[in-house]
Amino acid sequence: MTYQADGRRYERQPYNRSGRSGLKLPEVSLGLWHNFGDNRPIENSRAILRRAFDLGVTHFDLANNYGVPYGSAEKNFGRILRDDFAAYRDELIISTKAGYDMWPGPYGEWGSRKYVLASLDQSLQRMGLDYVDIFYSHRPDPGTPLEETMGALDRAVRSGKALYAGISNYSAEQTTQAARIMRELGTPLIIHQPSYSMINRWIEEGLLDALEEAGMGCIVFSPLAQGLLTDRYLEGVPADSRAATSRFLREDQVNRELARDLNEIARGRGQTLAQMALSWTLRDPRVTSVLIGASSVKQLEDNVGCVDGPDFTEDELQAIDKITGPVSSAR
């Protein structure tokens, strides 16, 4: 059946300006890291993307090496984009990144001009696009001058292959330096994508201030701490859970007591633990959007429901701080 988007999609959630740029992002954006590769049924991916757009999620976030195997998330997204979303391209924000390992040899990762621009060309080919809306340097490269990496981002925008430039996983000091370089080149950075959650609060130690000063937005990933801030682990570690099967999360990282205590606060707010965790990351107006993943339509709908949650009271924020402890510098 030919997909036709819900006519009320823009009534479903707020849209926030990214820093001092003209670009607005939905409060909840969809990341395609884990669930859109060749190891997942493409019809499930299609259903998630359709429902996301119907719920007002206009921003889909990728990277060159997302999916199993690398590149398959972009390839599958490009197929669905062509089949279902071609008529809606100008209503979508599509982002991708280059920085982590993608192909063998010295030119297949990090931040050289050679790698960054070749990676962008490959990403565009996989997705069948002429341009992406946001192109990121996925991580800082200690072996490449920052001027070279930022110069590659500037070139990507000036070539018309990206509309905006961003960075991810950069420290506050690196962000300030990168923003200065890009400002001088005439292509301002408009956004930073860091990890952030109730149990990973490193961006509060200076990065948010640096972004505000530079006029950049902030879109946070891993807001549910790889699932630790959901009801998935309230009773233990299920055999099919990420903590039991993934290299990105270990069983010894599961803290049932913390999750149960936070879940009690969530219940009092009329939210699930996941919804509260997502709402919490958005409590600071400097956070433009929160990136969620989804393995099913139901999980997507539950998570997007965070935008309907109530504002936090001071008592709730203090109770959360007491449970989660001091700000962590862990990434």
Q: At 142, list the tokens.
A: 């200690």
pLDDT at 175: 98
- Helix, strand, or coil here: 250? coil
Q: Say how many CA atoms lie within 13 Å of 74 toward its Cβ.
A: 26
* Distance, CA of 209 to chain centre: 20
Q: At 55, list the tokens.
A: 């719920």
pLDDT at 238: 56
Of 88, 85, 70, the residue nearest 32 (C-alpha): 70
Cross-strand bridge partners of residue 189: 165
Question: Could you write out the DSSP letters of every residue in 51-103?
Answer: HHHHTT--EEE--TT-TTTTTHHHHHHHHHIIIIIGGGGGG-EEEEEE-S--S
pLDDT at 162: 99
Per the listing, tokens 């962590």 go with 328
Q: Is 330 left (phi over 0), alpha (psi -120 to 50) or beta?
A: beta
Element containing residue 292 per DSSP (H, E): strand 289-292
- Specify the long-range contacts of residues 251-256, CB closer than 8 Å, at least 24 apart: 253/226, 253/228, 254/228, 255/228
**What is the per-residue pLDDT across 137-146, written as a single tens digit (0 to 9) for each?**
999 999 999 9
For strands 24-26 and 15-17, give the pairing.
antiparallel
Tell me the helix, strand and coil percentages in the chain, rounded to 5. 45, 15, 40
Cα–Cα distance, 270 to 229 (Å, whole number): 16
Q: Say how many CA atoms lie within 13 Å of 186 toward its Cβ.
A: 3
pLDDT-flagged residues of the chain (< 50):
239, 241, 243-245, 249-250, 329-331
**CB 41: neighbour CB atoms within 10 A?**
9
Cα–Cα distance, 181 to 250 (Å, whole number): 38
Q: At 283, list the tokens.
A: 């409590």
The answer to whether the CB of 327 falls within 8 A of the CB of 205 is yes
pLDDT at 331: 44
**What is the per-residue pLDDT across 196-236, written as a single tens digit (0 to 9) for each?**
999 999 999 999 999 999 999 999 999 999 888 998 767 65
pTM of the model: 0.93
